[in-house]
Amino acid sequence: MKIIIVTQYFWPENFRINDLAVNLVQRGHEVTVLTGIPNYPEGRFYPNYGFFRNVRQDYNGVKIIRAPLLSRGSGTGIRLALNYVSFALCATFFAPFLCKWKYDLIFVFEPSPITVGLPALVLKKITAAPIMFWVQDLWPESLSATGAVQSRTIINLVSRIVKLIYQGCDKILVTSRAYVTSIEKYGIESARILYFPQYVEPIYKPLVLAYDASERAIMPVGFRVVFAGNIGAAQDFGSILDAADILKAFTDIQWIIIGDGRMRTWVVEQVQQRKLTKTVHLLGRYPVESMPRFFSLADVLMVSLKRAPIFSLTVPGKVQSYMACGKPIIAALDGEGARMIEESGAGIVCPTENPDMLAKAVMRMYGMPEVQREEMGKHARDYYTANFEQNMLLNKFEEWAQELYNYANSRNV
């Protein structure tokens, strides 16, 4: 099949759509990606990229076409809004000229913003190809949940855009079953909504590092509680730091944060102000290939989200990464994410925004026999294999794509 993927983010930015696109090429499909100029998460264009530099590239057989956008800057306020709007407008305007070939399927990857669906609607008009839309983040709910937007007028406007996009899609894929009700309220019948959870790259697996592995020198010595991923408002770092503060007398417990994000500066300042430098460590961002190696040195992996209705429906993508590596998990989550951890037996769940309960969960894991933590890690790996294994999900994707292509062709005959 000839597939065009519409996504604001793509290689060299680190998103799962990179791996999905390459896998589709390896399975014999012809894949083109319409994307923006890479600038996430630093907020400035990557070296050697710009409005007229590297606008057409090849990535492991994937053809890349880049539309102009304004960089996200600090990732807040009007600058972030302009980043979102500029890609949507430029990709929509240039799509008929840059992507004028015949396609069998339009696939949209939507971690945020929802406006990435607008150029896909234009492509559908000019190519008659069906749209498959992969929802990673519910809008407008996520805007109000993070506090990014409080204006009811803007929320209502975004809701109308969401309705337009959803109703223009032929199939909507969701990463959480709990998303279905939120999407149905826009007049989308349940038959058009399919559950397609995130998988992770095969590099995520249980590892035993060599004694002289470089990661061992980077990681502090002690009982290692590791958080990996975005350091943002949604991840509730206030509660994480409060819990670390509660347990700071236990100097053997080391809180290790691997990643980057717009809250990183605030977290660094809080660590210094609270005198947590001996137990809380921000290691920075590392390539995705390094993450399973760091995970192998963790005693427990941690995931957290703020308390909000939208987040209770969400399963953070890092949960699958953690599970695939066969490590026990502490989850400060509500709703669907908490249900998954409890159902799998992969770790300990505590309520969101509750530092006392998070501290107790860490102490419980800290005092647990190692063999019991290993058993939780085994449950995590088994659950991942049964529910999120890459080839199984790619087979489903191909099956749905072929069905959609056949149906669209039968209507056009």
Alpha-carbon gap, residue 266 to 310, rounded angstroms: 24
Assign residue 410 a region (left: φ > 0; alpha: ψ between -120 and 50; beta: otherwise): alpha
- Asked whether the predicted pLDDT for residue 75 surpasses 90, the reply is no
Residue 258 burial (CB count, 10 A): 22
Segments of 249-312 assigned E as strands = 253-258, 280-284, 300-304
- Across the beta sheet with 62-66, the strand order is 56-59, 62-66, 30-35, 2-6, 105-110, 131-135, 171-174, 193-195
Q: Is-contact 111 84, C-beta < 8 A?
A: no
Alpha-carbon gap, residue 237 to 264, rounded angstroms: 9
Q: How does pLDDT run across 337-360, given as a tens digit for each residue?
A: 999 999 999 999 999 999 999 999
- Asked whether the predicted pLDDT for residue 361 surpasses 90, the reply is yes
The mean of the pLDDT values for the chain is 94
Farthest-apart Cα atoms in the chain, separation: 72
- Asked whether the predicted pLDDT for residue 292 surpasses 90, the reply is yes
Residue 120 has φ and ψ, to the nearest 5°, of: -65, -40
Q: How far is CA 272 from its chain centroid?
A: 29
Q: Is-contact 408 218, C-beta < 8 A?
A: no
Q: Is-contact 293 321, C-beta < 8 A?
A: no
Give me 319's structure tokens.
């949960």
DSSP class of residue 313? T
Give ranges for CATH 3.40.50.2000 in the chain: 2-199+389-412, 214-387
Q: Is-contact 38 46, C-beta < 8 A?
A: yes
Helix/strand/coil percent split, the chain, to 5 = 45, 15, 35
Is the four-CA dihedral 210, 323, 203, 254 of positive or negative sign? negative
358 closest CA partner among 242, 226, 224, 227 = 242
Alpha-carbon gap, residue 20 to 250, rounded angstroms: 42
The pLDDT value recorded for residue 339 is: 94
Confidence of residue 135 (pLDDT cuts 50, 70, 90): very high
Confidence of residue 148 (pLDDT cuts 50, 70, 90): low
The pLDDT value recorded for residue 413 is: 53
Classify domain 214-387 at the CATH class level.
alpha beta
Q: How does pLDDT run across 195-244, given as a tens digit for each residue?
A: 999 888 889 999 999 999 999 999 999 999 999 999 998 899 999 999 99
Task: Give the residue-averaged pLDDT of 262-272.
Answer: 95
- Asked whether the predicted pLDDT for residue 368 surpasses 70, the reply is yes
- Asked whether the predicted pLDDT for residue 41 surpasses 90, the reply is no
Residue 305 has φ and ψ, to the nearest 5°, of: -145, 155
- Asked whether the predicted pLDDT for residue 194 surpasses 60, the reply is yes
Alpha-carbon gap, residue 372 to 378, rounded angstroms: 10
The pLDDT value recorded for residue 265 is: 94
Segments of 111-259 assigned E as strands = 131-135, 171-174, 193-195, 223-228, 253-258
- Asked whether the predicted pLDDT for residue 317 surpasses 90, the reply is no
Confidence of residue 152 (pLDDT cuts 50, 70, 90): confident
Task: Give the residue-averaged pLDDT of 80-93.
Answer: 95
In the chain, what percentage of residues exceed pLDDT 70? 98
Is the four-CA dihedral 300, 306, 311, 316 of positive or negative sign? negative
- Asked whether the predicted pLDDT for residue 314 surpasses 90, the reply is no
Domain covering 2-199+389-412: architecture: 3-Layer(aba) Sandwich (3.40)
Give me 337's structure tokens.
């994410």
Q: Is-contact 158 148, C-beta < 8 A?
A: no
Measured at the alpha carbon of residue 37, what is the angle toward residues 34 and 42, in degrees to the nearest 5?
Answer: 135
Task: Give the residue-averaged pLDDT of 397-412.
Answer: 86
- Asked whether the predicted pLDDT for residue 184 surpasses 60, the reply is yes
